[in-house]
């Protein structure tokens, strides 16, 4: 008999795998499914990035093993991008690390710092990888509930001092998945002070800073004084340049944390394909009008979805960033029930808020990853359901 490790037995069903299973079942029955579930951009990767990949892939020099820590050229581009975008100075030789997508780096970070029995402070609702990677490293998660009353920011003052002293890491994520919430200077300063007081390391997942609307410009955690003393920030080219399948991202910030994460990676993976890194350079250094166009398209979709939802009695807050709408549902439903209702009655895939953690109960997340026309059709279908 093949017996799986205890860590796998402790895993909940992976949220997006379950959504895919349900969607596939409907499609097999011939249902025209509108997928507002998984946050995977439907827009194509910009042409100039594809062209650079094509060029680099034909160069035999890129057919060998890449550097474990990433090409110096790519890390230099990341550092220059941080300087242009946020005014942050980074030494690409020790403060930047190339990742095979930011999820990979976040998932490996606890292996560098968490020993069995150690604690990580994890927001909830949240991207599941924070809690799961902590568990894989043998650690425990102390969940920090994100509530509408606190603008979906963790209440650091509510964390007991003995818990904070035990903790090694604190995960934060703004602009936030799944809530779409944003954080500003005062919050980040408080996180830095909290980390210094309790000897914590900060892991900031900043994958959505370039997906913002109405002229809003999310800031980087690393802009704040003292940030590099306590933490690192993860970025991804996936959402910014519609490169989810390309698997390329970066970690930047505290040199000791970068070094430790790099040490883990050098024993687990063999680095990102150089041709993809050259394409990443083209993305970061090239014409950024593609990013502005993406923002325009998602803002138009956001407005169409919000207006439609309000007409049928669902009142979601207007997100300033991310391509998610975090929508409260009728009180008589649980999140999973409402998701199932939308699937069964309307052929619409959404993500139950409870799938991101218990504090997400009472919400569904809708992704703006289909055309405006399909969003309007989805709302028309919802309007025919008796909530």
The correct CATH number of 47-285 out of 1.10.1740.10, 3.40.50.1980, 3.40.640.10, 3.40.50.2000 is: 3.40.640.10
Give per-residue pLDDT as tens, 172-211. 999 999 999 999 999 999 999 999 999 999 999 999 999 9
DSSP 318: -
| Spans of all domains in the chain | 6-44+289-383, 47-285
The correct CATH number of 6-44+289-383 out of 3.90.1150.10, 2.60.120.260, 2.130.10.10, 3.40.190.10 is: 3.90.1150.10
Give per-residue pLDDT as tens, 282-321. 999 999 999 999 999 999 999 999 999 999 999 999 999 9
pLDDT recorded at residue 24: 85
Give per-residue pLDDT as tens, 337-376. 999 899 989 999 999 999 999 999 999 999 999 999 999 9
Q: CB burial class (10 A; 0-12, 13-18, 19+) of residue 153?
A: buried
pLDDT recorded at residue 206: 98
197 backbone φψ class: left, alpha, beta (φ>0; ψ -120 to 50): alpha
Q: Residue 143, SS3?
A: strand
> Where residue 68 falls among pLDDT bands split at 50, 70, 90?
confident
Give per-residue pLDDT as tens, 245-270. 999 999 999 999 999 999 999 999 99
The residue ranges of DSSP E strands in 308-356, in sequence order, are 324-328, 348-349, 351-352
Is 47-285 the same fold as 6-44+289-383?
Answer: no
> What is the radius of gyration, based on Cα positions, of the chain?
21
Give per-residue pLDDT as tens, 10-30. 887 766 666 777 778 888 988
pLDDT recorded at residue 20: 75
**Residues 230 and 201: beta-carbon distance below 8 Å:** yes
pTM value is: 0.95
pLDDT recorded at residue 208: 98
């Amino acid at each position: 008999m093949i017996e799986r490790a205890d860590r796998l037995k402790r895993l909940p069903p992976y949220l997006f795998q379950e959504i895919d299973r349900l969607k596939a079942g409907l499609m097999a029955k011939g249902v025209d499914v509108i997928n507002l579930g998984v946050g995977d951009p439907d827009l194509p990767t910009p042409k100039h990035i594809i062209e650079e990949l094509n060029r680099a892939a034909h160069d035999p020099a890129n057919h060998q093993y890449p550097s474990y820590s990433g090409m110096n050229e790519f890390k230099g581009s990341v550092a220059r991008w941080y300087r242009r975008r946020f005014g942050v100075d980074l030494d690409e030789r020790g403060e930047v690390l190339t990742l095979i997508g930011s999820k990979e780096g976040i998932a490996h970070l606890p292996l560098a710092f968490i020993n069995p029995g150690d604690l990580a402070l994890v927001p909830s609702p949240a991207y599941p990888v924070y809690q799961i990677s902590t568990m894989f490293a043998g650690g425990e998660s102390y969940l920090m509930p994100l509530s509408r009353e606190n603008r979906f920011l963790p209440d650091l003052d509510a964390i007991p001092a003995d818990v904070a002293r035990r903790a090694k890491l604190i995960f934060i994520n703004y602009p936030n998945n799944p809530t779409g919430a944003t954080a500003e200077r005062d919050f980040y300063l408080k996180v830095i002070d909290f980390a210094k007081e309790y000897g914590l390391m900060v892991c900031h997942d900043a994958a959505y800073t370039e997906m913002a609307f109405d002229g809003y410009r999310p800031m980087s955690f690393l802009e704040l004084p003292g940030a590099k003393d306590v933490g690192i920030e993860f970025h991804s080219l996936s959402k910014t340049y519609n490169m989810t399948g390309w698997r390329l991202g970066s970690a930047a910030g505290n040199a000791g944390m970068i070094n430790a994460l790099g040490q883990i990676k050098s024993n687990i993976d063999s680095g990102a394909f150089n041709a993809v890194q050259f394409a990443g350079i083209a993305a970061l250094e090239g014409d950024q009008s593609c990013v502005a166009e993406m923002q325009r398209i998602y803002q138009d979709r956001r407005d169409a979805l919000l207006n439609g939802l309000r007409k049928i009695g669902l009142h979601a807050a207007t997100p300033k960033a991310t391509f998610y709408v975090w929508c409260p549902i009728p009180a008589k439903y649980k999140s999973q029930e409402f998701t199932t209702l939308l699937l069964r009655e309307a052929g619409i895939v959404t993500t139950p808020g409870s799938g991101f953690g218990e504090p997400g109960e009472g919400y569904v997340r809708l992704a703006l990853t289909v055309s405006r026309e399909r969003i309007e059709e989805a709302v028309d279908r919802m309007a025919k359901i008796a909530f």
